[in-house]
Structure formats: C-alpha cells, structure tokens
Amino acid sequence: MASFSNSIGEISWICLNNFDFTSLCFQRTLIDTINILFLSLYFTSLLITFITKTSSNQSHTKCWIFLITSICCAIVSIVFSTVGLWNIISESEQLKWLTCFIRGITWLSFSVSLSQRVKWIRILNSIWWLFSCVLVSSLNIEILFQNHAIGTFDIVQWLVHFLLLYCAFKNIGFLGTHSVQQGLSEPLLDQKFKTKQTGLGHATFLSKLVFSWMNSLLILGYSKPLDLDEIPSLVSEDEANMAYQKFVHAWKSLVRERARNNTKSLVLWSIVRTYLGENILIAFYGLIRTVSVAVSPLILYAFVKYSNRTEPDLRQGLSIVGFLIVTKLFESLSQRHWFFNSRRSGLKMRSALMVAVYQKQLKLSNSARTRHSAGEIVNYISVDAYRMGEFPWWFHMTWTSALQLVLSIGVLYSVVDIGALPGLVPLLICGLLNVPFAKILQNCQSQFMIAQDKRLRSTSEILNSMKIIKLQSWEEKFKNLLQSLRDKEFVWLSKAQILKASSSFLYWMSPTVISAVVLIGCVVTQSAPLNAETIFTVLVTLKTMGAPVKMVPEALSIMIQVKVSFDRLNNFLLDEELINDDSERKFKECSVNAVEIQDGKFVWDLETVFPTLADVNLEIKWRHKIAVCGPVGAGKSSLLYAILGEIHKISGTINVGGTFAYVSQSSWIQSGTVQDNILFGKPMDKTRYEKAIKACALDKDINDFSHGDLTEIGQRGINLSGGQKQRIQLARAVYNDADIYLLDDPFSAVDAHTAAILFNDCVMTALREKTVILVTHQVEFLSEVDTILVMERGKVIQSGSYESLLTAGTAFEILVSAHKDTITELNQDNEHKRGFETEVLSNPQNSQGFYLTKNQSEGEISCIKGPIGAQLTQEEEKVIGNVGWKPFWDYVNYSEGTFMLCFILLAQSGFMAFQTASTFWLAIAIEIPKVTNATLIGVYTLVSFASAAFVYARSYLTALLGLKASTTFFSKFTTAMFNAPMLFFDSTPVGRILTRASSDLSILDFDIPYSITIVASLALEILVIICIMVSVTWQVLIVAVPAMVASIYIQQYYQATARELIRINGTTKAPVMNFASETSVGVVTVRAFNMVDRFFKNYLTLVDTDASLFFHSNAAMEWVVLRIEALQNLTVVTASLLIILLPHGYVSPGLVGLSLSYAFTLTSTQIFWSRWFSNLSNNIISIERIKQFIHIPVEPPAIVDNNRPPSLWPSKGKIDLQDLEIRYRPNAPLVLKGITCTFKEGSRVGVVGRTGSGKSTLISALFRLVEPSRGDILIDGLNICSMGLKDLRMKLSIIPQEPTLFKGSIRTNLDPLGLYSDDDIWKAIEKCQLKEPISKLPSLLDSSVSDEGGNWSLGQRQLFCLGRVLLKRNKILVLDEATASIDSATDAILQRVIREEFEECTVITVAHRVPTVIDSDMVMVLSYGKLMEYDEPSKLMDTNSSFSKLVAEYWSSRRKNSFPNISRQQQ
C-alpha cells in the first residue's frame, strides 16, 4: 500500500503548517478542497431537485462512453476506499485514511453524476469535470517536470479525467447529442391507453434508488386484493415489441455476416449484441457488491483488533463504524439493483425469444412443422424462452461468485499469511467434489425434464381426447400410462433430491474442514497467532466463501441448461420457412383466371421420393364454382394447400389472384365468443354479418345460445357440436368477403338438409360472385358446379363438367355409381310412394314437416350452457386474500408428514446448537491459557462435524417429505382428472389443467419442501443470532426488537400485494401458452386469411401482460428486501457501536469476535428468510391451485361391487328407454324430454334429426357421460344407472363423430389394451379398407401415428375407429356420424361390412345421410329433444310422417341433381 503514498499525500491542515503554494502537497489539497465544494453543490442540487420533484427535460439514453467512464470512476473510488481501510487497520500515523475516504467519495460522486438527466445539473457537472481535469493535468505536468516520473495510479486517474472531459463536452453539446434509437421508442408511446404506465417510467433518481416508485401499487395491494387491470403496464423499452425488434435487428445482421454453414449459437450472440450494454452496468453493480462482501472480514478484524488495544482511540473506532455503514450501504444498494436489473434484462430476453418463436411458427413450412409439433413449440416458449428470465442473474452470479472466492482467499492470506495455503487444499477438494455433484445433478435434472416432457405430451393428448377415453372405458389404461411416465420422472426427481441432501452436507462440512486446516496451518507455520482477530476473521471469511463454493457449480449447471435452450431455439429459428414469392403468386385481377397451375409438382416433405401431387394443370376462371372429388387419401386437401402455398413446389408455376378465405376439413375454432370467431379481426358490418349468419344457417343457433353471439366458445370449440363448428367456420369465410374461397369438405359434419341449405344459400347464392373451390364427398351437388376435378393418387385424372365426365366414364363413374346404388335402393323402397313424392315435389312448402323452416338449427349448446347468465368457460378461479397456513398444513397432512416435519425441526435445532457451541468454545477457550492449540482446534472440529451430521439428517428428511408429498399430490390429482365428469372437460380449457400438471407440480416437486425447511431453519437461526448478540451486549435489544417487529410488519405489508401478483400471474401464463398452441393448430387458416399481423399483435399484448406481473413481482421483492435490510443493518451497526462505546475490557475480544461474526450474518440471514418466506407464500398458491382440481365433483364409480352385471351381459342387446329426461346441469333446460321406446335385440335402429336435436345427447346418456335427471335406461332388463361405469362402457362399442387417434403405433391405436393377436388386427384392418395403405408401410402395424393422427387423413382416422369396434365385437354398437368424412363408395362398402359383421347385434346409427339409416329395422326421429316418431321405415313412409318428408326431400334433391344425368348416361 506504500506505493500509493505519493499519489495520496497528506491532509490539508498538515500542509498548512508549512505553507508553500508551490508544494505538491498544497496543490493536491487545493484540488481536494475544490472537489469538496463542487461535491456540496452537486448534492445540494440533487436535494433541490428531489424536493421540487423536477423531472428530466427530455428522455436521454446515454451512449456507451458515459457507462464506461462511470464504471472507471467507481473502480477508482473502490481503490481509494480499500486503501483507506488498510490504513486504519495498519494504524498509519498520518491521517491518510481520511484523505482516501474523501477522494473515494469524490470519485463515487463522479460516477453517479454521469447518470444525471436534469439539464442544469448536467451543465454544473460538466463544469466540475472540466475544472477537475484541468487542475489534475496541471499537477501531473508539474510532477513530470520535477521528478521526471509519475505514479501508475496517477496515470490511471489522469486518463479517467480525460474521459470525464470528453463527457463534459458531450453533455454541453460540443460533440453532438447522445440520445439514440428515438425512432424505436417514439411510436410505442402511442400504445399506452389500456392501463397506466409503471411508476418506473417517471421516477426520480432517488425513487429509483430505493424502489419507492412501487409505493402506489403496494398501497393499493394492501388496501384491497389486486385485479389484473390494476397492474401498471411496462415502460416502452421493456415491452415485448421493442425487445423483439432489437433482437431481430441483431439476428438479421448476424445471419448476413455469417456463412450458411456457420449458424451455431446465433441466438446467443444476438442476445449478447442486444443486451451487452445494460449487462455491463449490472456487472458493475455485481462488482461493487462482491467487493463490499469481501471486505467485511477485514472490518471484523479491525473491530476485534480495536477491542484488544490497551488504549483505544474513539475516533478510530467511530471511523471503523463509519466504514461499516458505508460498506453495508454499498452492499445493499448494489445487490438490490443487480438483482432487479438482471431480472429486468432477463425479462426482455424472455419476451424477445417468446415473440421470436411465435413469429417463427407463423412462417414455418409444413415439412418443418412435422419436426416441431404444437406441443414442442409451446415447450420452446414455456420452458426454453422462459428460462431466459433468470439467465442474466445466473450469469452474473457465476463470475461474481468466482471473484468473491478469489478476493476472500486474498483477504485470508492478508490476515494469516502463509498459514492460509494449507486451507486451499481442502477448499480445492471441496470445490472439485462439487463438480461431479453438479454434473450428476445436472444430468438428473436433464433426464427429469425429458421424462417430464414425455408425461406432459401424453397428458395434453389424453386431456384433448378424454371423451373417447371415457366412451371406451380406457381410463385405467391411460391413468397407468401417466403413472408409468411419472414413475420414470420420479426416479430422476428422487436422485436429484437425495443428491441435494448430500451436497448440503458437503456445503456445511467444508467450512469446518477448511477452517480447522487453516488454524492448524497458522500453528504449524506460526504465520499468525491463534487469537480472536485471527480465528473470527478466518471464520467470517470462510462463511463468505461458503455460498460461492456451492453456487459456482450450480450456476455452471444452470448455464449448461441455458446453453441447451439456446441450441434448441437456434435450431427452431433457423428451420425452414414458407417461401412466399408474391411476384410469382400474384397477378392482375383483370386476368381471365383466378388460379393457374402449370405442370405443378408438389410434395409435403422434400426428402420423400414420390411427390404428393404430380402433373397438376389447372385454370380456374373468376366466379366459377369448382368441385374436387375422389376417394379417401387422393390428395384433395393437398391441392388446396398447394393453392395456398402451404406445400413445397418442386416444379411448375402457380399463379393466384385476389384474397383467400379457407375452411379447413377439421374445424378450427378459437377460444372466444361466436362473434369473435365470425368477425376474425374484421370491423363489424352489421348487414354483412347478419347475411353471413343467415347464409350459414346459424341464426336459429345464435338465438338459442344463452348469450347470443357473445356466447363463449370453449377451447377447440369443445362445447359446440361438429355441425356448429363447421358452420361458424363457413360464416367466418363468408364474412371475410375474399375473392377466392377454398372449402375443404365443409358439409361432412352436417345433415343432408343443412348441407343442401349451405350449398344453395351459401356456396351458390352468397358466394355467387366469388371463385369457389369445393372439396366434397357429396356427389349430389356436383351437377350444380361449373367444373369438376376428379383426383386419385395425387393426380387430377379427370376434369370437366358433370355431363362430360359422365360420358367419359371411369373414375368419376365409380363415384356416381356408388351414389346411384343408394338412390336406386331408396327408389325401390319408395316405389309405392311415388304419388306422395310427386305431391311433395309439386308442393315443396308442404314438405317442411319435420324441418319446418330452413332457419331451424342446433340448440344443444344452450342446454349445455346451463343457467342464463353463466358462460360455459368461466374465468379461472383464484383464491383471494390471505389464506393463512391452511395450504401449508394441507401439504404436510396430505403427505402424512407431521412427524417428519417435527424431526426436521429437531435436526435443525441440533445443528444450530452444535454450531453455536463450536463458536462459543472458540470465543471462550482462547481466553483460557491452559487450553492448548490442539485442544482448541480438536474440540471445535468435533463439535462442528456433529452439527454437519444433523444438517444432513435435516436435508435428507426434507427430501423424503417432498418426495412423499409429490407422490401423494400427483396421485390424487391424476385420479381426480380421470374420475371427473365429462362436463368438467367441456367447461375447463386444457391449458388450465396442463398448467397445474406442469409448472404447479414442478414447484411442488422442487421448491416447496426446501422452502418450508429453509424458512423454519432461518427463523431459528435469526433467533440464535439475536440471542448471541444480546448475550454479549444486551443493550442491542433496544434496537433489535423494534427492528424485528418493523421487519415483520413490512413483510406482511409486502405479502398482501406479492401474493395477488403471483396469483394473477398464475392466470396470465396459461393464455400465452393457449394462444400459441391454438395458433399452431390453426396456422394455415391464419395465413390464408392474411391475419398473421393481427395474431402477432394479440400475442404481444398477452406476453406484455404476463411480463408486467413478473416485472412488478421482482420490483416488489427488491422493495421489501431493501427495507428489511436497512432495519437489520441498523441492528448490526448498533451492536458495533456499542462495542466501541462500552468501557474498555467490558467485553473480551473473543466475545467481540463471536458477537460480530454472527451480527454480520444477521442481515443476509434475515434477507434470505424474507426471500424464502415470500417464495413459500407464493409457492403455496400452487398447492391451492392443485387442490382446486383435486376436489372437483366425481362421476359415478367404475365398478359397483354389489351390483355387477353377469359376465356375458348383454346377451341379447335389448335397450329400453323409460321416460328419459336429460339436463347437463341442475336448473338447466332439458335436452331430452321424456323419451320412451325400446330397441329390440339384434335390430338396426337409425336415429335422425337436425344437428343438435339431441341425437348425440342420447348417445351420451347411453354411455352415461351425463346422468339422467329422470327416467331409466335398461339393457337386457338391467338398469345401467345402478351398475359401474366400466362394467357398462366395456360392453358397448362406439365410433364417435370426431375420430381420435393417439401418438404411438397403428397396433396401439387399434388395440390399446393389448387384448388381440396380429391376425385379428389384420382381419379388422382388411374389413375397414385400411389394408392397402398400411401394408405399404415398412413397419406395418408398428408404423407410427403422429400427434392426434396428423399423418392420416380424417377419413382414414374414421376407418381406424371402425377397426376398433370390429375387434371388440360387442352386442351393442353405436355409430355416431361414423362415415361423415368418407366418400360414398367407401361408405357403401363399410355399411355392407357393418351389416355382415354385426348381423346379430343391436346397431344404433346416428347419421346425416338418409341411405345410411333407410335400411334400418327401426327409425327414431328426434326434434328439440322430443321423440317425434319411432317405427319401421316402411310404415313411416306410408304415412304423412316427418321421416317420410325428410326422405322425400333427400330423394328429391338427389333425383333432381343426379337422376336426369344418370338416366341420360344409361341411354
């Protein structure tokens, strides 16, 4: 330190004793005096600004030179402060330490003044920097002239002064302004309309320093439970759009700079480029905090040394206290701003990457989508991008921990000299031991995440397919599947938790071993005496090293995980995008053709050998109606994708003109209202809106909905019937008013009458001026269109008008012949009714009968909706206010862990007792001359080792408690899900359930057990610390008790707001994931309607809402920690001051060291307790949320032991409905109204009626998806409501309306329970027309089925469902619109197969196609839940019945459309 003497000089009054104006000492004093004057002016200006609340004149974004200069000034300040402390410790005779402190404060003020934004203060600062630079330059030049040399530190200060001079000119404006990126920030200011902006946006410097800008939100949160709309919005620089724009700018420049084959870590380097500047400032905060912590042992050393002096100097003692205050102030403020700003930076990274992933999925090509499923894309957002929120914090924690280790070793060496060297050996060993622990732990966590991903993927699939699982009674199978996946996950969870217990033992044991070795080293080398100064400085230094030793490996583990996430995101963001060549795909609208394809060859996957579509040549004229038909898997949908540009074009040209509207084969409905789905972002035009609704036969449905067109639709339209979803899709397209309409089999989910209305009123009338390309299996409409395209095996094999294709024969003739056969059969059945048909045809208004008007439509949803005023999908429930300790006790009681928790507390008490005893022994034994060094160290080591054993027991029991609780909660949650009634899944979005199964369960797995133990342990530790301080200086109670009471009050004050912020945040994350998932499923529709920008803006809003909660939660945490820290620092300073002020000898040096070694940890312990208590309070909310779903109503039991049916039941298949009434909820309207009839054994019963008339509800009642509110259902004389659900459902077979496949193989989809041989499966496959496509696959029955069967067409999925029932061969078979998505020819074959295979079974057929039910033994006609007719078809045809009118209408439309052309062909 002597090397600094020339740079420091003496204090002013020493120089004034020998006054010499030319002396260097006087000139240095003059510079110090001028700086003190400017310093006074600066702080006075700040005080005036604070009192008058002057805001900055303009928004300034400082350029990087200001940041660099500020950091340099701070480093110089730290150097001066450290030298000053050393001068105090070394008892320098001169008052050089005071000079150092003055200059340290001056340089610190320079650093702070560089961030000033008020104009007149900036000018004052510039003058100060200018004067200082000129004076220091003059002094240094004189030193050079006199000595011909200058000190290194003087050169460093001189260079920093030149930087200050540059900043002064920059401030005044001589070198231009330093505000940047105004273009990016200004437009965003206009977007602040929804809520007030966060207080940070207009906070003063002091307000930012102490986080008082959070006061208004905390006051509001304490006065009442917060609502989402009361949470302030983010400042523009923190918003997702700004973050994304900056990220994309860096990304694009990097992509341009790098070669195609050098794309590694592009995401990482884009993040680095974007956020390097702000992270340099965070690093500066981290540096100050690290140095402040590292010097604390030196302060303790100074205190103990002071107490050991024979003649204490009060001024020196007060100086040590003053330095303690400054150090604690720096440590506290720097750490708070490090933590806050690192998470704020992480928030921006997280938002940028979330938005980048979402934007990418909007551009992703279909072949790339096969590599990234919807679930994986959501995972990129919810796991990988979300992980970035903590990335900067962990990054800075890594290097600051390493630096703290180095500095602590330096402090140790400065105190005990060479005696510290032996301690490095166990330190190195403990550090190296942490590395394999960290690697194994990281491997366990990685494997856990992989296993968790698999479980969540299966959970999502199961939840989306819960209806078919319940219908087939597969709950046990899929519950066991989830349990087996959880068991694999649990193996890694158990290993990780037990490993953490072992690492905690190592963590607490290592300071004991190292301290013992260091003390032995001091004895052996005699480098330092074993007195109070040495021992307690060593102990405190090792305590400061404990956290970094543990943290570095953990931080490196997190960094590895972050690297994996970066790589995953990098691969996704670099994946293939759709090629939108607008110049090629657009041409003038005056052209004759709307769509032109020449020699087109298209393929889904570029690696496929055979093209999906080949030799496509099309010319579609404006306003023409084009029909595309062909067998299942012919490539009809692929042709529409080719026109939309969603499929790879290998060769040829494609030109399209105008805008698109697209209706997908599988309905895509957004969560929201009916109106939102129809408008689809377009402004409301009432006239056009009403026309669209009427054209799509939705007006009656909307009138019946409980909230009209404002009725909420559940996720994926779960509370709508298939026909309603399809017609809402169609209405969306009609309202969009596009030029070209692409309709992919829109009539498959509606009955024949509704299909005729939609074709005539929608396609032919409402869209008469539009170009329409219609994919359809309904042959009867083909005669009305301008051109028909017949497809087979990816080629257009025929095209032309209806008449020309009939004349040509071949493929088209096969389709028409299949249709003709059904018409002929219908004609023969009704030959004797020809007179009646003529009457019907001549008086069409009389043929309405059952179908009174074409506006009649579906009413089922209004019944599902329940009482008027209640939407089906309710806003997510959240507990409000303080729930106390009930969730905590629920956690303990559920896991039966009361005794275990008691043992944990006992182990912690034992640990604290032994820890305290070991340090008390050192404090007392060093005062006893008879105690040898060997005894001193030996006893200390033994007692400390005993404490480490207790801490291992505590950690191990904590792990066991957590594992037991995890097992119990998962089991109860899964059981509750599989036992929940179907209504629960209809009214609960899948995202809400998945959030509980993922993030909430993860918190329960990892966070809650350790939070409970740490909160209890730290509370006990705080009590012990205060007791030790009181035992040495009881007077500290005067401050400690009020400080503790105030801390508890502040904690509770904060907790009221924090609790609600976390709860609201629990409801804002799911919509982000749901929206991303929803977009992923419907991305083709979004792109077709050119709605990408609207969806992108909506997503930005959702991300910002979620981010605002994260931001304010972190700010609130730093607010409370800063205040509690200040209170506890007050206690520590009081204890230190008492030790200085108490009479000499009142307290022995040993007890001084003991008291202060514990006192110095009081603040950090209290802060840890506050953080962990806050985390526990927040995490407890996850228990609340899981419990909500554990306690939902359950459906009846699977098996009723005292009422099980015979094993061969039902032997006949007779079904009796007796006065059956169904309502979906109590007090809801009846859906089925007193139905009484009998389905005879072995009969074929057809159920007809409008979509929504109660057909599907009748099926739900038969399977007891909904329980009868009155009446009975008897099968073979047994009341099905008295038996178990499994006994019932296993004996019934169904092909549902919406075909469902699961990810896996063909075999597992046909035979999930593994009951049948391969021969049986192949026979079933052959009968359901799937043998040809499956036999071509290389893996045959083991060939893969992707998520939701996405690699099979809708018709093929329906055939898989048929294959399942062919295998089961139950006595009762239900076909619920089973052949809606297949062509007429395949339908005819399947009907024949069903007739042959189920000849002796009772077959109930719900169908839209009249030929499907015309050959039934009995026909049931339903209307608005009432049984209108039930009789043999022939008898119903003999009367003026609703059924006969339906048949006549169906037959007349077919005859009109088909028979003239058929007969013409036969001539």
pLDDT in tens, 280-300: 888 888 988 998 888 888 888
Task: Name the DSSP class of 1203.
Answer: G
Is the four-CA dihedral 491, 493, 494, 498 of positive or negative sign?
positive
**Residues 544/408, Cβ–Cβ less than 8 Å:** yes
C-beta of residue 754 within 8 angstroms of C-beta of residue 1250 = yes
- Largest Cα–Cα distance in the chain? 137
Closest CA to 497 of 963, 23, 1137: 963
Alpha-helical runs (H) found in 653-784: 674-679, 686-695, 699-704, 722-736, 752-757
Spell 769-800 as b/e; 16+ CB within 10 A means b.
ebbbbbbbbbbbbbbebbbbbbbbebbbbbbb
Coil vs helix vs strand at 370: helix
- For residues 232 and 217, what is the distance between their CA atoms, to the nearest angstrom? 8
HEC string of 383-448?
Answer: HHHHHCCCHHHHHHHHHHHHHHHHHHHHHHHHHHHHHHHHHHHHHHHHHHHHHHHHHHHHHHHHHH
Beta-carbon neighbour count of residue 832 at 10 Å? Answer: 11
Angle subtended at Cα 223 by Cα 217 and Cα 228, rounded to the nearest 5 degrees: 50
| Region of residue 670 (left: phi > 0; alpha: psi -120 to 50; beta: else) | beta
Amino acid (one-letter) located at 285: Y
Asked whether 771 and 1124 are in contact (CB, 8 A), the reply is: no
CA neighbor of 170 nearest in space, from 65, 42, 73, 56: 65
pLDDT value at residue 135 = 79
Contact present, 993 and 1189 (Cβ < 8 Å): yes
Going from the C-alpha of 899 to that of each of 127, 136, 895, 1005, the distances in angstroms are 70, 71, 11, 20
pLDDT at 338: 92
Q: How far apart are CA 563 and CA 1170, in angstroms?
A: 31
> Which residues have CB under 8 Å from 649's CB, separation 6+?
600, 601, 602, 642
Tokens 């032919």 sit on residue: 764
Low-confidence residues of the chain: pLDDT under 50 = 1-14, 16-21, 53-61, 174-194, 582-590, 822-823, 825-870, 872, 1456-1467
pLDDT value, residue 345: 92
Instruction: Give burial (CB, 10 Å; 0-12/13-18/19+) of 1347.
Output: middle
| Whole-angstrom distance, CA of residue 1218 vs CA of residue 204 | 76
Give the per-residue pLDDT at 838.
Answer: 35
**Helix/strand number for the chain, H first, E second:** 54, 23
Cα separation, 926 vs 924, in Å, equals 6
* pLDDT in the model for residue 342: 92
Of all helices (H) and strands (E), which one includes residue 819? helix 810-829
Burial readout 507-519 (b: 16 or more C-beta within 10 A, e: otherwise): bbbbbbbbbbbbb
Residue 1095 near residue 1138, CB atoms below 8 Å: no
What the block records as the tokens of 1239 is: 């389905």
Where are the alpha helices (H) located in 21-150, listed in sequence order? 24-52, 64-89, 96-113, 119-147
pLDDT at 340: 92
C-alpha 1073/C-alpha 414 separation (Å) is 55
d(CA 335, CA 50): 24
Q: What is the model's pLDDT at position 1463?
A: 39
d(CA 966, CA 846): 67
Q: Which two tokens stand for residue 1181?
A: 């909310």
Contact 1403, 1375 (CB under 8 A): yes
Q: What is the pLDDT of residue 1017?
A: 85
- Kindly state the DSSP code that residue 2 receives in the 8-state scheme: G
Model pLDDT, residue 901: 84
Residue with token string 């006790």:
889
Residue whose C-alpha is closest to residue 121's, from 69, 180, 52 = 52
Residue with tokens 């009434």: 1221
Q: Which helix (H) or strand (E) holds 1292?
A: strand 1292-1295
User: How far apart are alpha carbons 1210 and 1273 in whole angstroms?
Assistant: 13
Read off the DSSP letter of residue 577: B
Q: Which two tokens stand for residue 647?
A: 């499929």
pLDDT of amino acid 854: 34
> Which has the closest alpha carbon to 376: 565, 529, 180?
565
Structural contact between residues 816 and 1458, judged by C-beta atoms closer than 8 angstroms: yes
Q: How far is CA 130 from CA 107, 125, 477, 836, 1010, in A?
A: 14, 9, 80, 108, 55
- Neighbour order of strands in the sheet with 1232-1239: 1232-1239, 1215-1222, 1270-1275, 1278-1279
Cα 617 from Cα 601, distance rounded (Å): 10
Cβ neighbours of 1453 (radius 10 Å): 18
Using CA atoms, how far apart are residues 803 and 809, in angstroms rounded to an integer?
A: 10
